[in-house]
Amino acid sequence: MPQAGLLHLLADSIGFGMIVAVFPVIFFIFMTYRMYLKNVEMSIRQAEQAEQYARILEDQSGALRESEERFRSAFNHAPIGIALVSASGTWLKVNHALCGILGYSEEELVGNDFQELIFKDDLGDTLVKIQELLSGKAASCQMEQRYLHRSGRTVWASWSVSAASEVRSNIPNLIFQLQDITDKKIAEEKLQHEATHDGLTGLPNRKHFMARLSEALDSARINPNYRVSVLFIDLDRFKFVNDSLGHLVGDQLLMRISERLRECLRPSDIVARLGGDEFTILVAGNYESDEVIRIAERIQEKFSIPFDLDGHEVFSSASIGILHASPNHASAEEMMRDADTAMYQAKRSGKARHEVFDEQMHLAARETLQIETDLRRSIENNEIYLTYQPIFSLETGRMSGVEALTRWRHPKLGEISPDRFIAIAEEIGLIGSLGEYILRQACSETVHLINAMTPETRFELSVNLSCRQFGRPDLVSEITRTLRDTRFPEGALRLEITESIFFEYQEKATEMLSEVSGLGIRIDIDDFGTGYSNLGYLIKLPISRLKIDRSFVQPIDKDGNNTGIVRTVLSLARNLGLTAVAEGIEHDHQAAALKEMGCDSGQGYYFARPMPIDELKRYIAELEGNDFLHIPMGEIPVVETLQ
pLDDT digit string, tens, across residues 546-571: 999 999 999 998 888 888 889 999 99
pLDDT given for residue 401 in this prediction: 94
Give the whole-angstrom CA distance, residue 190 versus residue 394. 69
Q: Largest Cα–Cα distance in the chain?
A: 200
Please report, as a single letter, which amino acid is at residue 327.
P
Q: What is the pLDDT of residue 333?
A: 95
3-state helix, strand, coil in the chain (%, to 5): 50, 20, 30
- Taking Cα atoms as reference points, which of 246, 283, 239 lies closest to residue 264? 283
Nearest of 318, 317, 360, 324 to residue 339 by alpha carbon? 324
Nearest in space to 278 (alpha carbons), one of 258, 259, 293: 258
Please give the Cα distance from 21 to 36 (Å, whole number): 24
| Residues in a beta bridge with 461 | 402, 493
DSSP state of 306: P
What residue ranges define each of the domains in the chain, with the CATH number in brackets? 2-71 (no CATH), 81-187 (3.30.450.20), 197-357 (3.30.70.270), 372-624 (3.20.20.450)
Give residue 169's pLDDT.
55
> What pLDDT does 474 receive?
86
- Which candidate, 512, 514, 544, 516, places its Cα nearest to that of 528? 544
pLDDT of 634 reads: 39
Sites in the chain below the pLDDT cut of 70: 1-28, 33, 36, 40, 47, 50-51, 53-69, 71, 73-74, 165-171, 503-506, 530-537, 625-643
pLDDT tens readout for residues 338-383: 999 899 888 877 788 999 998 777 777 777 778 888 888 887 888 9
What is the per-residue pLDDT for 8?
58
| 74/79 Cα distance (integer angstroms) | 9
Phi then psi for 192, rounded to 5 degrees? -65, -40
Question: CA dist 612 to 269, 390, 438, 618, Å?
Answer: 55, 11, 14, 10
Q: How many CB atoms lie within 10 A of CB 412?
A: 7
* Gap between the Cα atoms of 49 and 145, Å rounded: 57
Average pLDDT, the chain: 84
What values do phi and psi take at 462, rounded to 5? -105, 130
Q: What pLDDT shows up at residue 320?
A: 95
| Per-residue model confidence as pLDDT tens digits over 391-437 | 999 998 899 999 999 999 988 888 888 888 888 888 788 888 899 99
CB 345 within 8 A of CB 364: yes
pLDDT of residue 616: 93
